Amino acid sequence: MLAAERREHLLDLLGRTGKIVAKDVAAELGISEDSVRRDLRDLATEGLCQRVYGGALPVSPAVVDYDARQAVAPDGKRKVAAVAAALVRPGGSVILDGGTTALAVARALPKNLACTVITHSPTIATALIDHPRADLFLLGGRVFKHSAVTCGAAAVEAAQNISADLCLLGVTGVHPEAGLTTGDVEEAAMKRALSARAADTYVLASSEKIGTASSYHVLPWAKITGLISDTDPHAPVVERLRALGVDVLIAA
Amino acid sequence: MLAAERREHLLDLLGRTGKIVAKDVAAELGISEDSVRRDLRDLATEGLCQRVYGGALPVSPAVVDYDARQAVAPDGKRKVAAVAAALVRPGGSVILDGGTTALAVARALPKNLACTVITHSPTIATALIDHPRADLFLLGGRVFKHSAVTCGAAAVEAAQNISADLCLLGVTGVHPEAGLTTGDVEEAAMKRALSARAADTYVLASSEKIGTASSYHVLPWAKITGLISDTDPHAPVVERLRALGVDVLIAA
DNA sequence: CCTGTTCTTGCACGATGTTGCATGTATCTT
DNA sequence: AAGATACATGCAACATCGTGCAAGAACAGG
C-alpha cells in the first residue's frame, strides 16, 4: 500500500466515522502502529486532523466556531465596514452579503437608521434583530454551512423578487486580472444574483484580500460600482481599478 | 472509546441536557466513575463546565461569551425540548418553528444527527450551523422583529415548496376551549402554513403556557398530532386533550 | 549494472499518559 | 448525629508515545 493511499484512507475514515483509532487501523491495513502514528502526526501538522491520545479526531469544530463568533472584527474590517455603512441612506435599501466583513457592516449600521436590509445570511439577520427601525428581509434557501448563508436555486430564485439601491458584496479575492473571486461556486452564483438586483454594487475587501484570487469568478469589473478597502490608496492594484472606472473608497 | 472522544461526548451532553451525572455517564459508556470524574475535573479546569457534587453543570452564562449559548433555557423548556428532539428520527425531516422553546429543541438535537431541518427562524438556523450532518433549509421572507422569524406572504409562499415528516410548533397559549393561540396574527398564519406541510404536528408548550390563551387562534385540535409539555400528567386540561385524541407527551 | 543516497518502515526501549481499584476524607441526606 | 454517597489521592497495570536504529526499497548518477 502506498503511503499517499494510506493517508487518503485515513482522511476518508475520519470523514466517515468521525474518529481514528491508531491500533484498529494498523490491524485493518496490516501495517505497524508506528506508521499510522507517523501519518497522523503529519496530517495533524497540516491541520487535516486533530491528534489525540490513541488516534485522531476531525479538526475541532470549535476552531471553525471561533472565527465565526469572533465578536470583534479586526481593525481593517471595521474601517471598511464603517465606510460601507455610511453608504446606506436613511429610507434606502441595501442587499447585504454574508461573511465576516458584511457582519461588521451590519454592526456598524446606526441603531436607529430606518432602512431596508435584504440578506441571505441568518447570522446577519440575527445581528439586525435589535435595529428597531430597520426593515429586514431574509432570502431563504438551503443553508451552506461553511459560510453560513443560503445558496442554491431556491435562494437565487428568492433574490429575483427583490431589488434595492445598493448591494454590498464580500469576496475573498480582488485581483486586477482574475477579478473578483470567491471560494465556492454556489456562493459565486448567489453573489451575482444579489448584485443584479441592486442599482449599485460595492465590493468590501479589507487589505488582505487585495491582490489575491480564489477559485471561482464572481463578477467582471464592469458590473461593479465601487470597491471599499483599507489598503494603500496608491497601490498599483488600486490605480489599475481606478483606470477601469471603479470608484475606489479607501477607509482610513 | 478515545479519551478525547469521551470529553467531546460530555460537552455535547452538557449542552443538550444541561447537566451531567457522573454515575449515569459512567454506566452509559461502560467506564469507571473515576474516569468521568477526572474528565469533569479537567473540563472544569479549562472553564468548560462547572463541577458540582455528583456531576457537572454548564458554566454560568455570564462567563460564556458565545452569544448562542448565552441564554440557557429554563428547566421546563429544556425538558420539553429533549422530548421533542427525540421525535426527530435519523434521516428524517422536521419543520422547526421559532421561539425560545424551538431554539432549545435545536440545541437538544444530537450534534451528529443526520436529518433535514426546515425553519423560518434565522436564530435557529444560526444555532444549527455547527451540526455538520444536519441539512438546513431556511424559509425566507420579511423578518418579524419581536419573535425573530420570517412571516408574511413571501414566507408562507416559501413554505408551500417544502414538506416534512414532523412539525414542531411553539405557541404562547394552550387552552381547552380557545385552543392553540399566539400573540400575532401573521405568526398564527405562518404556523398554520408550516403545520400544513408536515405529516405530524406536535405542539411545544412548557407548563406556564398550559391553560392560557392569547389573541390569535392558530390551529384546531384536530390538526394536531400531539402536545409536548412538562405540566402535571393528570391536569384537567391534559385529560381533556387526551379525550380529544391528542397524543400528550409529558416531559419529566 | 553498480553504487551511494535518501526515504520509508518496523522494532526496541525508555518516557509518559491513562485507567480502575483501594483508601481515607469530605459532603450530602435522613 | 449517623449512614450513604461522592471525592481526591496514591498506586499498580497497562497502553500509547517519541526517538533512535537498522533493514529494505526507491532512485539518481556514474
Contacts 24+ apart (CB under 8 A), A26-32: A29/A1, A31/A1, A31/A6
Say yes or no for a CB contact (<8 Å) between B3 and A141. Answer: no
User: Mean pLDDT over residues B89-108, rounded?
Assistant: 95
pLDDT score of B47 more than 70: yes
The predicted pLDDT at position A67 comes to 45
**Mutation for testing the B interface, residue in A17, A126, A133 having most B CBs under 10 Å:** A126
The per-residue pLDDT for B61 is 58
Query: How does A46-78 read in b/e, with b if 16+ C-beta sit within 10 Å?
Result: eebbbbbebbbbbeeeeeeeeebeeeebbebbb
Which pLDDT score, from 0 to 100, does residue B130 have?
82
> Which range among A205-214, B121-130, B198-207 shows the weakest confidence by mean pLDDT?
A205-214
Q: Tell me which of A53, A65, A138 to substitute to probe the interface with B (most B C-beta atoms closer than 10 Å).
A: A138
CA distance A52 to chain B (A): 6
Q: Rounded to a whole number, what is the distance in Å from the CA of A18 to chain B's nearest CA?
A: 9
Region B11-40: what's the mean pLDDT?
Answer: 92
Separation CA B238–CA B240 (nearest Å): 5
- CA A105 and chain centroid, separation: 14
Any residues with CB less than 8 A from the CB of A136 and at least 6 apart, and which? A116, A117, A119, A125, A128, A129, B142, B143, B145
Q: What percent of chain A clears pLDDT 90, i.e. is strictly above it?
A: 69
pLDDT digits over A142-163, tens only?
Answer: 999 888 999 999 999 999 999 9
The whole-number average pLDDT for the span B70-80 is 76
Nearest to B210 by CA among B235, B161, B173: B173
Cα dist from A30 to A11, A23, A24, whole Å: 18, 10, 10
For residue B28, pLDDT over 80 is answered with yes
Q: List, for residues A84-124, the tens digit of each pLDDT value.
A: 999 999 999 999 999 999 999 999 999 999 999 999 999 99
Q: CB of B125 within 8 Å of any CB in chain A?
A: yes
Size of interface A-B (CB pairs under 8 A): 108
Q: Give the pLDDT of residue B218.
A: 96
pLDDT of A171: 94
pLDDT, residue A73, reads 66
**pLDDT the model gives residue A176:** 81
| Separation between the CA of B31 and the C1’ of C20 (whole angstroms) | 9
Query: What is the spatial distance between Cα A181 and Cα A178, in angstroms, rounded to a whole number?
Result: 7
pLDDT per residue as tens digits for the range B211-232: 899 999 999 999 999 999 999 8
Please report the pLDDT score of residue B176 as a whole number: 85
Burial of A243 (0-12, 13-18, 19+ CB in 10 A): exposed
Q: In Å, how far from its chain's centre is CA B163?
A: 19
Q: What is the pLDDT of residue B82?
A: 92
Average pLDDT, chain B: 91
Cα nearest neighbour of B129 on chain A: A145
In this predicted model, which residue has the larger pLDDT, B244 or A67?
A: B244
- Give the burial string for A214-241 (b: 16+ CB within 10 Å, else e): bebbbbeeeebbbbbbbbeeebebbeeb
Q: Is the pLDDT score of A63 beyond 70? A: no
Give the closest residue to A104 by CA, choosing from A244, A213, A220, A206: A206
CA of A28 to C1' of C7 (A): 24
pLDDT tens digits, B113-127: 999 999 999 999 999
Exposed e or buried b per residue across B153-174, where buried means at least 16 C-beta atoms within 10 angstroms of its C-beta: ebbbbbbeebebbbbbbbbbbb
pLDDT confidence of residue A181: 93
Predicted confidence at residue B104, as pLDDT, reads 93
pLDDT digits (tens, 9 = 90+) for B139-174: 999 999 889 999 999 999 999 999 999 999 999 999
C-alpha cell at A217: 469568478
The set of cell numbers assigned to A48 is: 487535516
Distance B26 CA to C18 C1' (A): 16
158-197 in chain A: CB under 8 A from chain B: 158, 161
> Who's near A177: CB < 8 A, 6+ residues apart?
none
Beta strands in B131-197 (DSSP E): 134-138, 141-144, 149-151, 164-170, 173-175, 179-182
* pLDDT of the residue at A33: 93
| Segment B167-190, tens digit of pLDDT | 999 999 998 888 999 999 999 999
pLDDT at position A3 is: 81
Helix (H) / strand (E) containing B233: none
Cα separation of A48 and A208, whole Å?
24
pLDDT score at A72: 57
Give me the helices (H) in chain B, please.
Answer: 3-17, 22-29, 33-45, 75-86, 100-108, 122-128, 152-159, 185-196, 236-243
On the question of pLDDT at A68 being above 80, the answer is no
What gap in Å lies between CA A78 and CA A59, rounded to an integer?
29
Q: What is the predicted pLDDT for the residue at A186?
A: 95
pLDDT band at A246 (very low <50, low <70, confident <90, very high): very high
B39 CA: nearest nucleotide by C1': C18
pLDDT digits (tens, 9 = 90+) for A175-212: 888 889 998 999 999 999 999 999 999 999 998 888 88
Please report the pLDDT score of residue B70 as a whole number: 47
Q: How many Å lie between the alpha carbon of B82 and the closest alpha carbon of chain A?
A: 23
Q: Is the pLDDT of residue B67 over 50?
A: no
Structure-model confidence comparison of residues B197 and B175, the more confident one = B197
Identity of the residue in B3, B68, B138 whose CB atom sits nearest the CB atom of A54? B3
Query: What is the distance between the alpha carbons of residues B240 and B246, in angstroms, rounded to a whole number?
Result: 9
- What is the per-residue pLDDT for A71? 52
Name all domains of chain A by residue range, CATH numbers in brackets: 3-59 (1.10.10.10), 69-250 (3.40.50.1360)
